[in-house]
Amino acid sequence: MKKHRTLKFFISLGLIVLVLAGIFVGGYFILDKAVVPKYFGKFGINNMSELVGMMTTLYSNKDEDDIVTYGYTENDRNVAESKLIEKGIPALSNGRLDYNSFASGDFEIAANSVIMLTDRELASVINEMLKTGMLADRLPNLKYINTLNMEMLELIITPEKIDGVLNENKADVKFTIKIDTTSIRGQMAVEMGMPLFLLNMIVPKTLYLTNTVTLTNDGGEWSYVGGDIGINGKTTEKSKILLNLLISFIFPAEDEMTTEKLQENLGEVLVKSTDMLGSIEFSDNINSINQNGVVVTTK
């Protein structure tokens, strides 16, 4: 009788395992043949193998220290804020720049005053502008990403030189922005009519978006030419599918957003932030160690 009960137990256990395996295989089959092609086919992801391959590429991330190689320091921020306070922007009681007053324009700066900021100093100020929300209204094309979810981690300005002569109105600008995707993923899931867990599998919680754009100032009008753009330290080619996903399901169709337009809109982060002070020119001789940056002439 004991042997009979033992045999019955193992038969039952085996049946349970077979049922669970069937459910797993069936679920995998549905994902592989139906769900993945339905939602991701037009982006070049047609089965679970291709989905896993993309996830592997995205999630084999470099550390932030590997992605951000020219980050600013607290000293850069302190120096930059001191320069702005010296020109008339109010300070808080703790000595920090009063960004609320900065945003409201509740200050006076003498016209044609010159403020020289290295690219690292400028990056630190732009990051504070993003955190306080003072750039949100000035960057309407980025409202669907939400500038409050963005952090400026680094900014590298390389002014153009022709035969050794500096062009103050043209520069290659490379910058890395950190984006918290929590709210973006929820928005994407709604727009796609897709279970959130699928997007959670694909889109990392934190994105490091590295963009290179050439900025040219022609008589006060800025033009943008996009270069490389990558996610989490990946090349443009390896980031293409996720970039297309983000663009297609974050931005409404009427925006006709493309990778090139996204690069331009991100480039405006630099232009709109400095425009709050005055006009800018690029320089390779900002301080005693000849760092690159901008020369701002107040209005």
Question: pLDDT tens, 39-96?
Answer: 677 667 777 677 666 666 666 656 888 899 999 999 999 999 999 999 988 999 999 9
pLDDT at 103 over 70: yes
Query: Mean pLDDT across the stretch 134-150?
Result: 89
Residue 190: both structure tokens together: 């709604």
Report the mean per-residue pLDDT for the chain.
Answer: 82
Q: What is the mean pLDDT of residues 157-182?
A: 93
With pLDDT > 70 as the criterion, what percentage of the chain qualifies?
82
Does 11 score more than 50 pLDDT?
no
pLDDT computed for residue 146 by the predictor: 84
Identify the pLDDT of residue 91: 93
Confidence of residue 32 (pLDDT cuts 50, 70, 90): low
Q: Taking residues 15-34, report their average pLDDT.
A: 50
Q: What is the pLDDT of residue 190?
A: 79
pLDDT for 26 beyond 60: no
pLDDT of the residue at 62: 66
198 contacts: CB under 8 Å, gap ≥ 6: 35, 39, 189
Strand partners, 174: 156, 212
Average pLDDT in the 145-160 region? Answer: 93
More confident: 201 or 296: 296
What local confidence, expressed as pLDDT, does residue 243 receive? 85
* pLDDT higher than threshold 70 for residue 21: no
CA atoms of 172 and 167, how far apart (whole Å): 11
* pLDDT value at 12 more than 60: no
Give 26-29 contacts, CB < 8 A, sequence gap 24+: none
pLDDT band for position 291 (cuts 50, 70, 90): very high
| pLDDT value for 19 | 41
Provide the 8-state DSSP code for 108. Answer: -
pLDDT of residue 28: 56
Name the helix (H) or strand (E) containing 226: strand 221-231
Structure tokens, 200:
């959670």
Residue 145 has what pLDDT? 85
Angle at CA of residue 250, ends 246 and 253, nearest 5°? 110
Alpha carbon separation from 104 to 67, 133, 236 (Å, rounded): 34, 12, 38
pLDDT at position 10 is 43
Task: Read off the pLDDT band of 35 (50, 70, 90).
Answer: low
Q: Is 80 exceeded by the pLDDT of residue 22?
A: no
Write down the pLDDT at residue 298. Answer: 85
What pLDDT is recorded for position 2?
Answer: 45
More confident site: 159 or 198: 159
Q: Do residues 50 and 35 touch, judged by C-beta distance below 8 A?
A: no
Output DSSP code: residue 1: -
Give 47 or 269, the one with higher predicted confidence: 269
